[in-house]
Chain A
Amino acid sequence: MTASRTAGVPRQKGGPSASPSQIVAFVTFMLPIGALLLFWEGVVRFGLADATILPAPSMIVVRAWELLNPAKAERSLLLVHIGVSLWRALAAFVLACLVAIPLGFVLGLSTGTYRALSPLLSLLLPLPAVAWTPIFLVAFGQGDLTIIGVCFLGAFFPVLYSTIQGVRGIGVHAIWVVQSMGAGPLDLFRRVLLPGALPALISGLKLGMAHSWRTLVAAEMLAALSYGLGYMIFAARSYMDVSTMFVGIVCLAVIGLLIEHVIFGTLEKMTVARWHSSGKVRGTR
């Protein structure tokens, strides 16, 4: 056991200096993207595509730079669009989690309630949340309330469904073990139900955030008065400003990727991934 303690020297990945294997991973990730961009640039430059419909990547970068307005960062239009969009998607996601996670635990634990509500859930889960936008527009008019409401629905069902599945996946024996040790309801929740449901819950959060982000674009196109990436893309059509549309699309893709990998990737590394790694290289907490 001394071996396990002394071997606990920090050998963690993802420190400030990247390891060679990480650089390799990054390069293999970027290579196909770089190739596509080069090809795309070539196609436009050689006149094989109409630049007013498909602008070259270099033109998109130039437009992005203009929108970013780095000289006056406090009045950067692009940053405002991004900020507003992020705020809406995150607010909707957090609200959805606040309702869906506790509800998921209740439904996961009580088979009766689950049976009663399950048909409803299977009907609502596959429904694209954007479909609600016109109804929300009628009810609340254009603006944040409608957009956040629609995104809320987009995030709500995946989180709810995953939480239920996670709780239902916990074997009754696991619950019995802690009950036979004298655990009350709080211990049972903290020590078994929550960690037991966590793997499913994390994939639900990932899915919920992704849905919120996707729903957001459509909802902003339909319901935003000003600002937001969806609004920016949609508004640019009046000026035939295709470059700006592409800037918006690229932002949506990159931010979506970052949220999935940085936020949820870290959450996964801290929990689920750790449980399946050998603990022998790690010291006690």
Chain B
Amino acid sequence: MSADLAKVLPMNARSKPKIVAKGIQKSFGNVLAMEDVTLSIQEREFVAIIGPSGCGKSTFLYLIAGFEKPSGGELTINGNAITGPGPDRGVVFQEFVLFPWLTVLRNITLGLDIQGVKREEAEARALKWIRLTGLSGFENAYPSTLSGGMKQRVAIARALTYDPEVLLLDEPFGALDVQTKNYMIRDLQDLWQEANRTIVMITHSVSEAVHMADRVVVLSSRPSRVIADVRIDVPHPRDRRNPTMHRYEDEITAILSAEVDKAMSLERQIR
């Protein structure tokens, strides 16, 4: 269904592959988490990854970030094999991972502090994201005094402030209410369109994925493979009431539910 639309809107026709995964395998001990993930992410593309819980989405993100090594397959960024973490790839973790000994402001400027950016400049750059994430007034608070949603916003602001080429987001809106989430989604999209970053975002929400991403990649249950790769050919800014988007949502939801049903029935047979 998306083939004809792709001709109308060749969104990333001129861009080149940024991250390429070929037959990625990952096992932890004797647990095989990823079986064969093959995926190419273009420069300046916004890719959403969706899949059943425990299928290896976070693991895939950690492989791209260079925190973990694949057990098999090839993983490259800009054509070079990924050997370790680097400041070109910023990560927002599913569990936030803030530093309790740093104030909100210092948590957010951390990336720039490490890179030796002058304190005034770092703070000026942080303030923009503090404002956009609605954290103004909490600059000097310590993370232990923040709510879960606020912690998540700090984590997002921290990754955005040091401006990496690739943003790796692991369920970045999980702890936010719908209203705050919508604001953050809009800001993230503005950023992505202005600065042309490559974004890989894991999410559990099909509508979030369809609303934000160029492409939605669906992973199978563990051990994971790519079972669908859907290009969302709707120009930005997107309107939630657009019927085309609803069709995409329905399509992806159907694929995902079938996968979850299959996994659950298998799981229960074993028991």
Interface residues of A (CB under 8 A from B): 1, 3-5, 8, 171-174, 176-183, 187, 191-192, 195-196, 198, 271, 274-280, 282-284
Contacts and interface: CB of A to CB of B under 8 A. Distances in A.
A176 B144 contact: no
Contacts of B130: 1
Interface in B51-104: 62, 65-67, 84-87, 89-91, 93, 95, 97, 99-101, 103-104
Given A191-B114, A279-B103, A177 B97 contact: yes
Interface residues of B, number: 35
A172 B58 CA distance: 14
B145 interface: yes
Dominant SS among interface residues on chain B? loop
Contacts of B65: 176, 180
B102 to A, nearest CB: 8
Contact of A282 (B86, B101, B140): B140
B86 A180 contact: yes
B129 interface: no
A101 B228 CA distance: 52
B111 A4 contact: no
B114 A182 contact: yes
Interface stretch (B19-27, B131-139, B210-218, B252-260): B131-139
Contacts of B180: none
Q: Which of B62, B66, B100, B114 has the most CB of A within 10 A?
A: B114
Contacts of B90: 180-181
Contact of A278 (B85, B139, B141): B141
A183 B86 CA distance: 9
B97 A181 contact: no
Closest 6 pairs between A and B when the two form their complex, measured CB to CB: A182-B87, A181-B111, A195-B101, A279-B141, A279-B140, A179-B85
Nearest to B164: A180
A4 B139 contact: yes
Nearest to A176: B67
Interface of B: 62, 65-67, 84-87, 89-91, 93, 95, 97, 99-101, 103-105, 110-111, 114-115, 130, 136-142, 144-145, 162
A283 B140 contact: yes
A191 B110 contact: yes
A180 B165 CA distance: 12
A198 B101 contact: yes
A45 to B, nearest CB: 53
Contact of A178 (B110, B137, B140): B110
A3 B85 contact: no
Contacts of B67: 172, 176, 179-180
Contact of B110 (A181, A279, A280): A181
Nearest to A187: B114
B138 A274 contact: no
Contacts of B99: 174, 177, 191-192, 195-196
